[in-house]
Amino acid sequence: FLSDEQRSSGGGGGSGRGGGGGGGGKHVRELWECFRKTTASDEIYFPTALSIMGILRRPRSDIEVEDDDVPYNIGDEIARKRVTYCDWSTCAKNPASFSKKDLRDVVQRGRAEGCLIARKFGLGKDCGGGIAGKSK
């Protein structure tokens, strides 16, 4: 993640679309300003950011089609894998909730799967979830 200083300077290194390596600084600043006060889940934030940067888009011939089955054009910039670690093993409506005592295990499992972030952490003393398959 970029610091406030990196965001305001329009970058953080790297190159490519929307990157800060010399070109695209204005667009990077505009993107950060757009999301500065936004609270959104990763399922909304990342696809929106990728679309704004022009990395994730529907084929031109399908622009007017509102069909989730129409494939998006993606380049080499996007890997088809999840970036968020969550535990759906309970087959419930929502993923399992983690507490502070689960943090080390969640970090270890998330890193092993190549995830960047994890969800879902409770705010209380013990959110009652825990990691499936791990005794308390």
Q: Is the pTM of this model over 0.85?
A: no
For residues 17 and 59, membership in a common domain is answered with yes
Q: What is the CA radius of gyration of the chain?
A: 18
For residues 44 and 89, membership in a common domain is answered with no
For residues 68 and 31, membership in a common domain is answered with yes
| Distance spanning both ends of the chain, measured CA to CA | 33
Written as six digits, the tokens of 39 are 């609270």
For residues 67 and 129, membership in a common domain is answered with no
- Mutual orientation of helices 42-52 and 25-35 as an angle, nearest 10°? 150
For residues 106 and 40, membership in a common domain is answered with no
For residues 73 and 101, membership in a common domain is answered with no
Helix (H, G, I), strand (E, B) or coil at 28: helix
Phi, psi of 118 (to 5 degrees): -135, 155
Q: Which domain holds residue 97?
A: 81-136
Q: Taking residues 43-55, report their average pLDDT.
A: 76
Owner of token pair 């507490």? 99
Helices (H), 53-102: none
pLDDT-derived band of residue 30, with 50, 70 and 90 as boundaries? confident
Owner of token pair 């704004």? 52
When divided into structural domains, the chain yields a total of 2
